[in-house]
A and B are shown apart, each in its own frame.
Chain A
Amino acid sequence: MTGTSSASQKVRHLELGLSDEQAIDMYTMMVKARKFDERMLLLQRAGKINFHVSGIGQEVAQVAAAFALDREQDYFLPYYRDYGFVLSVGMTFKELLLSVFAKAEDPNSGGRQMPGHFGHKKLRIVTGSSPVTTQVPHAVGIALAAKMKKKPFVSFVTFGEGSSNQGDFHEGCNFAGVHKLPVILMCENNQYAISVPVHKQLAGKVADRAIGYGFPGVQVDGNDALEVFRIVKEARDRAVAGEGPTLIEAMMYRLSPHSTSDNDLAYRTKEEVDEHRAKDGIPRFKQYLIDCGIWSEELEANLHASIKKELDEATEYGDKAPFPTPESTMWHVYENDAAGQGGNR
């Protein structure tokens, strides 16, 4: 540690209730998510894995939101770009790599689902699918359970701006609004639904849709970590106080192509991407920490080295771990399925 922020003029994170250590943890998670993502792109290009959907450009809001939640008891329904989020609520590189390589030990799906389809009951990360936004009614149902059982947890769900056009988004919001349920809905507005730009997806703002459902909707700069933290924390306070849902539209930009199967320069320009790369929230948060006197280039170098080591180990572990047995394809269709019986019973 090169100093303490209490001596500094810039103590926004302290005002928000984040210790120096927590602020640094947030930054660590952002960098971990970015490095993970870059490594996956590399593994895909090297032919080691088939496919990767990137979350580059979205990590800041994901991590900041996770830190504003109660990571001991809240329920999480992330969408497929939320590497920063799931790392922040306890998933490890090793677990992610087991998923990337589709190995038996993968806690998300036992190597059944595409990477990015998170699920981890011990961490209260609720299993998700590929048809978008089906998780919104699930989050509302979990929030309904919280209300019925009088438990002080909230559910937190994310989705893209394209997804916010799905019926399940609207049906879920309306249900949550009617019953004032403790759910936080965060749209990660990354400006593109694969190739279709936001102006062809939305005539208005996602945040404004909350008005129709009778609860607050707010836009926030998704590259501003502390502002996202503040907004999500406020939403959580409202939720546990019985004041109902909040819709948050975190504005950001998908710096990577949609997936490794996508050529984004077919529908957007390099200039546009570069313009947004300059607004990347990770270096911005790093500078903030340096200005606070709690971060340095030396610490940065150490962090990169330790992440690289952890990623190397996780990649090796995931690569060498055994695949599920072919016969296990038949398992877990129903409760108590004996091996090899599956849906044939």
Chain B
Amino acid sequence: MPVMDYIDAIRLAMKEEMERDEDVFVLGEDVGVKGGVFTTTKGLHEQFGEYRAMDTPLAESAIAGVAIGAAMYGMKPIAEMQYSDFMFPATNQIISEAAKIRYRSNNDWTCPIVIRAPIGGGIFGGLYHSQCPESVFFGTPGLKIVAPYRPYDAKGLLKAAVRDADPVIYFENKKCYKLINGEVPEDDYIVPIGKANVLREGDDITVIGYSMPLRFVEQAAEELQQEGISAHILDLRTLQPLDKEAILEAVRKTGKVLIIHEDNKTGGVGAEVSAIIAEELLYELDAPIMRLCGPDVPAMPINPPGEKFFLLNKDKVKEAMRQLALY
């Protein structure tokens, strides 16, 4: 099975879906001739032409809104937000329109769009090229939200998103693009939306997370194994709808849970995961639910000490995991 970078898996998913279905097209700023500022759409313009790898005017609400219109007609647009930080002008189109089209028309109209948006810091992007805006969209019924960590899931979830009959936000982590690689089948497969995945089996503590921070969790788990601490790791993969069963099963396994994400702590996805666990499993826990997340500041600074302070890393994660194990 070929090994490829996370970004190549995303590109391959788009290419395969565009070859499979001529109604699939990608639109956004710089996605055409340039192939995207990160090269995510490189080669699509050459293969599929200027309309199916479409450079749009610099206006995010139109990128989302035009995609929504095309989707209501029956097309399958993939709208790219260059950075998730620039997605907020499109929020009204995403929350007031895309998320509500099926519901408000009583199942008459549908909106099968995919909105791809790079999240995450660690690239010296400062406040506005580093954010994790999951919590802004999380909790909006009508939207599905995925956030892959492994290249295998990056490809399979994007293909599932394109084929989904409802709007899907696809949060890809820009730090993962070249850093995370792994085996990706060249054949056609999907990763079902709404299903979490156990990354590592363990007995002492459970760690639940998604996207880039899972790399630190995996590294820390490897090292903690030497200390005799065995970690069970669950990759949520889909943030909405959350895979409740998988969450509860993973927590039941160890009775101790740490929830990790880069988005800030207050009101984040981890808060909902905590609540689900507390509602269902409180008396089966051997330790208080623990969260390790980005700090509650508006966004991360560009100066290196500030960025380092904001971001999670292997050591911070390892320490939190150890604390939980020792509780």
Contacts and interface: CB of A to CB of B under 8 A. Distances in A.
A134 B166 contact: no
Contacts of B141: 333, 342-343
B292 interface: no
Interface in A134-177: 134, 136-148, 155, 167-168, 171-172, 174-175
A2 B70 CA distance: 48
Nearest to A172: B62
Nearest to A121: B108
A334 B57 CA distance: 31
B57 A138 contact: no
B74 A140 contact: no
A167 B89 contact: yes
Nearest to A106: B106
A174 B56 CA distance: 10
Contact of A178 (B57, B67, B100, B241): B57
Contact of A141 (B51, B57, B59, B67): B67
B103 interface: yes
Contacts of B65: 134, 136-138, 140-141, 168, 171-172
A145 B75 contact: yes
Interface in A92-112: 106-112
A137 B142 contact: no
A157 to B, nearest CB: 10
Interface residues of A, number: 47
B108 A107 contact: yes
Given A137-B69, A145-B70, A343-B142, A171 B109 contact: no
Contact of B97 (A75, A134, A139, A343): A134
Interface string A104-142: 001111111100010111000011010100101111111
Looking at B70, B73, B166, which has the most chain A CB atoms within 10 Å of its CB?
A: B73
Given A110-B106, A343-B141, A141 B73 contact: yes
Interface in A218-252: none
A109 B66 CA distance: 22
Given A117-B104, A168-B61, A172-B66, A141 B72 contact: yes
A335 interface: yes
A142 B70 contact: yes
A109 B73 contact: no
A199 interface: no
Contacts of B323: none
B59 A174 contact: yes
B25 A138 contact: no
A200 interface: no
A335 B62 contact: no
Interface string B146-167: 0000000000000000001110
Interface in B29-84: 51-52, 56-57, 59, 61-62, 64-75, 77
A142 B73 contact: yes
Given A121-B108, A127-B109, A131-B96, A145 B74 contact: yes
A345 interface: yes
A332 interface: yes
A101 to B, nearest CB: 15
Interface of A: 75, 106-113, 117, 119-121, 126-127, 129, 131, 134, 136-148, 155, 167-168, 171-172, 174-175, 178, 331-335, 342-343, 345
Interface of B: 25, 51-52, 56-57, 59, 61-62, 64-75, 77, 89, 92-93, 96-97, 100-110, 141-142, 144, 164-166, 194, 241
